[in-house]
Amino acid sequence: DARVTQTPRDKVTEMGQEVTMRCQPILGHNTVFWYRQTMMQGLELLAYFRNRAPLDDSGMPKDRFSAEMPDATLATLKIQPSEPRDSAVYFCASGLGTSGRNTGELFFGEGSRLTVL
Amino acid sequence: AQSVTQPDIHITVSEGASLELRCNYSYGATPYLFWYVQSPGQGLQLLLKYFSGDTLVQGIKGFEAEFKRSQSSFNLRKPSVHWSDAAEYFCAVGANYGGSQGNLIFGKGTKLSVKP
């Protein structure tokens, strides 16, 4: 059963520490998204990639966040240094876009819950 | 700019009762529309989608949704709710980017509670 895999599931860290979250998209999917979910803001897009190229990272605080896709099977989201306001659940999602018969739905991982003390 | 509004933050229904969750969108062209469900501690699971054709779409778990262009709405319905339907429901619109999929823009969600 194909699924998006995220690690770690839970992370507790102290302010100022570096945090790296990883995502393995579904094999063959060419778009990868990072979303952040908080009670106050709901689901916010942080960044997304198509064919490993970053297309939009306007939702990310550039001074501390970075997102990369070193290869087609791995996407990373890094926070350095982390701050308490970064506490949230971070979701990775992948999809096939809307070309051809594809209709743009995204498949979500189970999320990485980050707590910054 | 594209946006999605889910006017109800929290809804409680009795088990066996019918359900309708509201969703209104703002989008300049024919939208791709989705409903997702999220159980506690889980990711989002696709319930159903609309991209063209029949405006009444069927999804998993007995859910359906109707696209009404004149009202910019895509409301989710279920004729008889089960206790296991208690979860948070998100409506989303797909934003085009250069002719193909951009990201999904999500509403704030509606939390559904089910009374025995």
Among A45, A37, A51, A35, smallest CA distance to A99 is for A51
Q: Backbone dihedral region of A46: left (phi > 0), alpha (psi from -120 to 50 degrees) or beta?
A: alpha
Task: With beta carbons less than 8 A apart as the criterion, state whether A109 and A92 touch.
Answer: yes
Q: Which residues of A touch B36 (CB under 8 A)?
A: 108
Per residue in B32-51, pLDDT tens? Answer: 899 999 998 889 999 999 88
Which pLDDT does position B98 carry in this prediction? 46
Tokens read off for B91: 């409506």
pLDDT of residue A20: 98
Distance of residue A99 Cα from the nearest chain B Cα, in angstroms: 6
CB-CB under 8 Å, B49 with A105:
yes
pLDDT tens digit string along A1-49?
A: 789 999 999 999 999 999 999 999 999 998 899 999 998 888 998 998 9
Percent of chain B with pLDDT over 70: 93
Find the CB nearest A109 among B43, B49, B105: B43
Confidence of residue A62 (pLDDT cuts 50, 70, 90): confident
pLDDT, tens digit, 9 for 90 and up, residues B47-80: 999 887 889 999 999 999 999 999 999 999 999 9
Across the interface, whether the CB atoms of A48 and B102 are under 8 A apart is answered yes
